[in-house]
Amino acid sequence: MGSFKLVSLIFILHFLCPVPIFSDSSLNSKGVSEIPTKFLNFAKNLVVYDWMVGIRRKIHENSELGYEEFETSELIIAELDKMGIGYKHPVAVTGVVGFIGTGGPPFVAIRADMDALAMQEMVEWEHKSKRPGKMHASGHDAHVAMLLGAAKILKEHEKELQGTVVLVFQPAEEGGGGAKKILDAGVLENVSAIFGLHVAVGYNFPIGEVFSRPGPFLAGSGFFEAVISGKGGHAAIPQHSIDPILAASNVIVSLQHLVSREFDPLDSQVVTVAKFQGGGAFNVIPDSVTIGGTFRAFSKETFMQLKQRIEQVITGQAAVHRCNATVSFLEKEKPSFPPTINDEDLHKYFRKVAGDMLGIHKVNKMQPLMGSEDFSFYQEVMPGYYFMLGMENKTLEQLKPAHIHYFKINEDALPYGAALHASLALRYLLDFRQEASLLEEKYHDEL
């Protein structure tokens, strides 16, 4: 047997029958700080890396929209079965929630979203989406692969877990509010903290670096749609009509005044009208016009105030122009998301873990973004932390922003996400155990 084949066989046997990266005796302060680096090296092993890439590409080829992720769920379940990881399914229609560890408290969760976008992929490559009009244009396929990678790491070191890691494979993040349905299902009731990530796309964030901040990170977001009704007629005799297009135009201008004149300029908000439908002829005033858009803010109070004023402005301006208006905030179709607010203590913890893995100089604090994430639903009921994972390699082509037809990812980022997920979960449980021990000692001292 050639030397290369012998080395390959040894590596494959090692992968199939791994030995623990550390033992209980090594879990001193130095041993704990070395966990992230060792997990990253494990995730970078060629067999593990290729396995994650294969999963990501299978999901990408079979892109599924929110609450339709049936094949994605089947793939996840098949991989969990191979690893001997227990799970609940279905949760929130298509979701999967796995469990690794003792089965008892404390519980810590790590989450990946699963859904694609209603877009046609324009990137020509071997693993292009086979589903017309459906595409993973935000990296959720990579998120699933990384969480499965973390599951493999954690399962192979399950004896070291001082509690239970909950794996949340969540449906319908893209406007469907899947996180809220996961919570409503009651599977996270005992979870003490939750972590989530997103591949950083369109920001030129280097691979091997992470980006986040404590406090408000992503905005709360909502949608609105309004039908403004007037009286149609011939364009040559407008006096016999009530023009909803003119009314809608004034509504749009007035909505822009909300941000510029009614709210604190240091409290950022956005109101955007992105939909305007009305009329189909050059010389006919239509009976009605439909407009729609989104609004965003970083605090619940501002968000609710903005929502109230949007409805008042639309109905008031329509009335000024003798039209009627009905306003819907589409809560069933597109539920509003709260702001994503990172827990301050978890931020310090994240910097420690990510710093041990990557070097503290590669753990970056970034400005808040007006994008939104339904991860915020989890943060309303438990401490949560969300961060961005860099993907850019300057020696390769520049990656396009998310939510466009030419979106691609750098698969070399997969080991970093998997190792960070696993490290954050395992070390959280270790820290929880240590804190509990200290409290117990203090309690006995006081007795």
Residue pointed to by tokens 């037809």:
405
CA distance 212 to 353: 14
Counting every residue written for the chain, the total comes to 447
Pairing status of strand 86-91 against strand 95-101 = antiparallel
Helix H or strand E segment including 439: helix 414-446
The beta strands (E) that lie in 138-212 are given as 164-170, 191-199, 210-212
Dihedral sign, CA of 397, 398, 402, 406?
A: negative
Helix H or strand E segment including 441: helix 414-446
- Buried-state track 12-37, b at ≥16 Cβ within 10 A, e below 16: eeebeebeebbeeeebeeebbebbbe
Residue 67 Ramachandran class (φ > 0 left, ψ -120 to 50 alpha, else beta)? left
Known binding residue 333? Answer is: no
The β-bridge partners of 234 are 284
Count Cβ atoms below 10 Å from residue 365 Cβ, excluding itself: 10
Count Cβ atoms below 10 Å from residue 82 Cβ, excluding itself: 9
Dihedral sign, CA of 79, 80, 81, 87?
A: negative
CA distance 28 to 274: 55
Residue 160 Ramachandran class (φ > 0 left, ψ -120 to 50 alpha, else beta)? alpha
Known binding residue 174? Answer is: yes
Which two three-digit tokens encode residue 409? 């990812």
Which two three-digit tokens encode residue 422? 């696993």
Q: What is the DSSP string of 58-114?
A: HHHHT---TT--HHHHHHHHHHHHHHT-EEEEEETTTEEEEEEESSSS-EEEEEEE-
CA distance 333 to 341: 24
Are 175 and 105 contacting, i.e. CB atoms less than 8 angstroms apart?
A: no
CA distance 169 to 174: 14
Known binding residue 198? Answer is: yes
Alpha helix stretches (DSSP H) within 286-329: 300-320
Residue pointed to by tokens 């791994």:
18
Binding residues, by number, are 140, 174, 198, 403
Binding residues for Mn(2+), by number, are 140, 174, 198, 403
